[in-house]
């Protein structure tokens, strides 16, 4: 059965649907004929932006609801056939500054959502987005799903707790849930006002402004970057395939790259578009150094073997598409969200 036939005419709830990944997912679902409801609180510190769904606004239902509002979430979940559970507090440094808020959003609210599923839509298929941050500092590369869980920040701890709850409700209550541990994801619609969600967002802003890209440390840290189209494909496959129930998958890019090499590629792509910027290495701020994980590269063999997924977008083409998007539509993304 094709993905399009799986999702056509289905009632689907996307939490965090005005954000970067959520809006791209919603767009793909709408193109397949799904009946999509988007839930987003539009918190100033988050990535929600109505501009992200400007082209599909008339084809989706948007609910400005905080996932901590248990009563509203239960009402919205009633009758849903799929839940793509993306809403989160995703800032690692922010989780250290306000651990209680991170706990409320990333754990307590998730338990409330799962309880609502148990009560009003027990047959729903749930895909929960977690993070490679749960592994902490890797013992070896690439990192597979059997790697020790050793988070270095509050966000990683809370995201792992939420993973456990999703898998528990799958095993005990039959709520078919799948966990995807995402690596750094980039593309059109990502937050670029600052580096709260991902360092590359701030780098792209500096490129657009003709400024300086700052790399913490010596630039030797490796990262595994994934273009958003590949991320959306993984989400769709996980939701559509019953074999994914109760499973945890790493999802990431096809290439691991040093940060200094990534900056050079970004500057090269930008230069070809007539943009001029520079790069420099600066000392790690102490609050960032304490929670930095060092090198990371994910092993994606499990999802490739079980669900037939693989990263297809090259890094250069992804960077080109991303910069072109912001060149054509800069204003809604360059202004501060708070």
Please name the residue ranges forming H helices in 44-108.
70-77, 92-97, 99-103
CA pair distance 114, 206, nearest whole angstrom: 40
CA pair distance 200, 306, nearest whole angstrom: 30
Spacing of C-alpha 26 from chain mean position: 13
Residue 3 is predicted with a pLDDT of: 95
| Domains and their CATH numbers in the chain | 3-186+226-253+297-312 (3.40.50.720)
Q: Nearest Cα to 261, choosing from 299, 295, 300? A: 295
Query: Do residues 292 and 284 lie in contact, with contact meaning Cβ atoms separated by under 8 Å?
Result: yes
What DSSP element (H or E) covers 299? Answer: none
Residue 269 is predicted with a pLDDT of: 96
- Give, in order, the Cα–Cα distances in Å from 112 to each of 59, 100, 115, 167: 28, 16, 5, 15
- N residues, the chain: 338
Query: What does the pLDDT profile of the chain (338 residues) look like in tens digits?
Result: 689 999 999 999 999 999 999 999 999 999 999 999 999 999 887 789 999 999 999 999 999 999 999 999 999 999 999 999 999 998 888 899 999 999 999 999 999 999 999 999 999 999 999 999 999 999 999 999 999 999 999 999 999 999 999 999 999 999 999 999 999 999 999 999 877 778 999 999 999 999 999 999 999 999 999 999 999 999 999 999 999 999 999 999 989 999 999 999 999 999 999 999 999 999 988 878 888 888 999 999 999 999 999 999 999 999 999 999 999 987 788 765 43
Residue 305 is predicted with a pLDDT of: 98
Residue 337 is predicted with a pLDDT of: 44
0.85 surpassed by pTM: yes
Residue 285 is predicted with a pLDDT of: 84
CA pair distance 202, 213, nearest whole angstrom: 8
Residue 33 is predicted with a pLDDT of: 98
Cβ atoms within 10 Å of 154's Cβ, excluding its own: 23
Residue 289 is predicted with a pLDDT of: 80
CA pair distance 51, 338, nearest whole angstrom: 16
% helix, strand, coil for the chain, step of 5: 45, 15, 40
Over the stretch 266-276, which tens digit does the pLDDT of each residue have? Answer: 999 999 999 99
What letter would DSSP give residue 28? H
| Burial (0-12, 13-18, 19+ Cβ within 10 Å), 255 | middle
């Amino acid at each position: 059965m094709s993905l399009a036939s799986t999702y056509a005419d289905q009632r689907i709830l996307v939490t965090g649907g005005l954000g970067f990944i959520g809006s791209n997912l919603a767009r793909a679902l709408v193109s397949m004929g799904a009946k999509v409801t988007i839930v987003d609180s539009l918190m100033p510190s988050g990535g929600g932006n109505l501009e992200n769904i400007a082209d599909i606004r008339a084809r989706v239902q948007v609910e400005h609801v905080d996932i901590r509002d248990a009563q509203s979430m239960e009402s919205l979940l009633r009758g849903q056939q799929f839940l793509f559970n993306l809403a989160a507090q995703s800032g690692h440094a922010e989780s250290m500054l306000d651990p209680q808020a991170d706990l409320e959003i990333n754990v307590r609210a998730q338990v409330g959502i799962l309880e609502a599923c148990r009560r009003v839509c027990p047959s729903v298929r749930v895909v929960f987005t977690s993070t490679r941050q749960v592994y902490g500092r890797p013992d070896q590369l690439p990192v597979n799903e059997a790697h020790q869980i050793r988070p270095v920040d509050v966000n990683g701890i809370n995201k792992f707790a939420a993973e456990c709850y999703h898998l528990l409700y799958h095993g005990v209550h039959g709520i078919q849930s799948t966990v995807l541990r995402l690596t750094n994801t980039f593309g059109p619609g990502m937050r670029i006002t600052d580096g709260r969600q991902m360092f590359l967002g701030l780098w792209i802003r500096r490129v657009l402004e003709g400024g300086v890209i700052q790399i913490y440390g010596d630039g030797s840290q490796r990262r595994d970057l994934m273009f958003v189209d590949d991320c959306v494909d993984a989400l769709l496959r996980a939701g559509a395939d019953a074999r994914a129930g109760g499973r945890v998958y790493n999802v990431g890019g096809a290439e691991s790259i040093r940060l200094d090499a990534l900056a050079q590629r970004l500057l090269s792509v930008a230069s070809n578009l007539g943009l001029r910027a520079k790069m420099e290495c600066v000392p790690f701020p102490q609050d960032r150094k304490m929670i930095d994980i060092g090198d990371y590269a994910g092993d994606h063999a499990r999802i490739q073997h079980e669900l037939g997924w693989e990263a297809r977008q090259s890094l250069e083409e992804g960077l080109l598409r991303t910069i072109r998007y912001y060149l054509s539509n800069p204003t809604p993304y360059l202004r501060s969200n708070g």
